Every structure is written in C-alpha cells, then in structure tokens.
Amino acid sequence: MADTKESMFGCVVVKIASRCNINCTYCYMYNKGDETYLSQPKKMSDEVVDTMLQRVRYHCLKHGIEYFRFVLHGGEPLLTGKDFIRTFVKKARRVLLPDTKPVFSIQTNALLLDQEWVALFKELGIHVGISIDGVKEVNDEYRVDHQGKGTYDRVVAGIQQLHDFNADKAPKEQVHPGAILVVNPDSDPVEAYHHFKELGLKAIKPVLPDYTYEDLPENFDPEDTTHTPFGDWLIALFDEWFQDQENQIRVSLFKEIIELLLGSESGTDTVGNDEVGVIVVETDGGIETVDALKVCGHGFTKEGLNVLQHEFDESLDTSLAGMYFMSKKQLCNQCQACPVNEICGGGFIPHRYSRKNGFNNPSIYCYGLMKLMTHIQGRVLGQFPKALLEESGIEILTFEKAYQMLQENLQQNPAEATYAPLLESFGQP
C-alpha cells in the first residue's frame, strides 16, 4: 500500500484483557451476540505485546508518526494486574522512543481501583477514563455485576480513591479522571451533569448506545423526525453545559462539534469527516476494526489478521477495516444530501448497519444528530454579533430548515447514490 495519509493510523485500542468483572446488559463485547471472546486468551501474552510493539514501531517510522496513542482496554484492563501495566508501558517507551512518543490511557469500571493503582497511573503518566452512567438508579439499570447487582457504589468508591490520592498533592501531581457515559433517554441529563460535577469529574464523554437497524432501541423509529429521544437528551445536556459558567466540565462531544462548526477539519469516529485512524488488537493478537462493530453479528470483526503474522498496514487493505478508516467519507445518498454531513460525518459506523444494505444507511440516530448539530450551531452563532453574521453570510440553520434542504436535495438527485459499493458489501441477504 502506498505511503499516504490514507494508509496510517495513530492509535491502537489494546485489549489486554478479554474478560470483565461486571456484566453490563448493553455491552457490545459480551451481550450483543458476539461470543468470539470465549476462544481468546483471558490476558494478552508477552509474545503478543512484544510483537505488537514492534509492529507499531515499524508503522510509526514508515509514516513519520511523532505521537502514538495506546488505549488499554478490555473487558476490564485492571484484571491484568499492576505488573502487567507497568511492564507494558516501559516496553512501549523502550521500543518507540525517541522517534515516537507513546501516549497512554486506560478505560476502567473503577471497581478494582485502590491507592496503588492511582499511584501507578501517575507514575506512568496514564490518563484514566471511568465508565459510569449517572446517578445510582440510572447507572444500576444497566451497569450490573455477574450477580445482577448494581455497581454504582463500588464505582464511586473507586473514584474516591482518586480524590484521596489527590488530596495532599499539588495540581501537577494529581490524577484527574474523565468519564464515559452511555446515553439513557429515560434519565435526566441535567441531573446527570450536576452529578458528575459533584463526583469531581473533569471531563465526560457521552456516547450513544450501540444499536443497529437489526436491533433498535425499544419504541424507537429511526425515520420519525418528531421522536428523537437520544438527540433531545444530548441537547438538554448541551444547554446545561453551555450556560454553566462555574466549574464547567469538559464534554468532548460538544467541544468537537463546536470546533467543526468553527472550521476545524478534524474529527473522531463519531463526528467530523476525517479519516478514522484507530485499530484494535485483541488478546490473541488479532488485528480488528472498532470493537463496537461486534453488534453487527458473531465474528463480524474477524478478518484473519494477527500481529504475529501481519503488519498493521495490511489491515487497512482488508474490506472492513478499510471501510471503517474511510467511514466518514463513504456515506450513503441521504448523508451526502444532508446539509450538516461535514459536521456529523454520518455518525458512528455501527449505527448505520443493516443486513439488507450493509452500511449503506444513515445512522439510526440521524435525525437526533441533525437536531443536535443545528441546535449547537444556533447557540454558538447566537453569541456572535448579528452584523458580523450578516457580513460573513453565515446562516443559522434550524432543524426544520436542514430537514427541508435534505428532502429537496434528495428530490433533485433521487438516484445518484455515489457511495462506495464497499458500504453495502457487508449485507447478509
């Protein structure tokens, strides 16, 4: 493959553990039909770690990558133990430096956190992300252990371990966790926002639950423009965040959307229209695309590549990983006709999937996302002087206007679907 921007990535999600000590009912790894984890090692071996790091080094040198991110993930990554994490980080630095600087983060459910873990994160410079969905009754609706018991109290106890560590430390010596929360439209987003502030979290990342056209949320119709509960939840969260002048939490999704509205060309796998430079390595060394695609079916992410035999660039020659990498640019006809597609980028690729059309669909959350994008644009541009907006020719776009423009564009070009055929090749008639 040619040495171009289109053939590189700068982040690997390292599945150092393939088991978890809790059993979230919405989990794409264990409770959405993919059972391939059962045939994988519970923990990544030294051989896989060593070979993967050499593959990363080769990839970074080939493409001139100065910073490379490792996301330590699972399952629950803390199940591997402190010695494993310390050794992994030291090996990565030894292999990559000085040519490439490795950056580390870890995503944990926090149940195993103690002072030694927090001290280790600080020692190794690992950014900590914690999974928690909100107040106790909201979190414990889905985030339960293997006995069906809620995990909230134990998660909060883990967060307290971080605060206890920080108590007598200077700001530079502290560890500040962020949080990932799965949007629950039946919960109160304003309550959730203030609860995260009370927990002392400095950043939150709301994510939409992983559903497809084959497995839709209850009482949810993706074609209904009047009932967009997930988008409405995010809008209410945004409004509370946007007007909060005291101790404002960083909400990555909103920050990314605002930057895109103001002209940034970057993005993530959920918003924007840039290439998605992320790959996954499983505990057995399997090279895969984003793990949330496991919701599409058993073995869906398996393409037969492994770090023990293959370079990372080879994965981008495979159909699924190549499609994921270009998923913000290879859009269905409706997305191409949409006036906010450069901001939305079609949404997260698993949410586009159907057995009939593969990924040649808009996101099941399309209209909710359109409402969110137009709402944020209106709130942000509303801060600008009216004369400046008139002089620049920038139009504040309402959802109603955006939807009207979409329908007009589709009527003008009803049959000109120019999406890559690759997008529907994953359909299963």
Domains of the chain: 5-325 (3.20.20.70), 333-424 (no CATH)
Confidence of residue 29 (pLDDT cuts 50, 70, 90): very high
pLDDT over 70, % of the chain: 94
Q: For position 198, what pLDDT does the model report?
A: 95
Quick one: which of 97, 92, 123, 100 has its CA closest to 16?
92
Strands 287-288 and 278-281: antiparallel
d(CA 335, CA 65): 32
Which CA distances in Å does 37 have to 18, 142, 304, 323?
Answer: 6, 21, 15, 23
- Mean pLDDT over 13-40 rounds to 95
Q: Average model confidence (pLDDT) for the chain?
A: 91
pLDDT at res. 415: 54
pLDDT of res. 264:
80
Flag whether pLDDT at 204 surpasses 50.
yes
Is the pTM here over 0.85, yes or no? yes
What DSSP letter does each residue of 327-383 carry, written as one string?
TTTS--HHHHH-TTHHHHTTS-GGGG-BTTTBT-S--TTHHHHHHHHHHHHHHHHTT
Query: At residue 423, does pLDDT exceed 70?
Result: no
Q: Is there a contact between 359 and 352 (Cβ–Cβ < 8 Å)?
A: yes
What are the phi and psi torsion angles at 396 (to 5°)?
-80, 120
Name the amino acid, one letter, at 28.
Y
pLDDT over threshold 90, residue 133 = yes
7: confidence class by pLDDT, cuts 50, 70, 90: low
pLDDT in tens, 259-315: 998 888 777 888 988 888 899 999 999 999 999 999 999 999 999 999 999 999 998
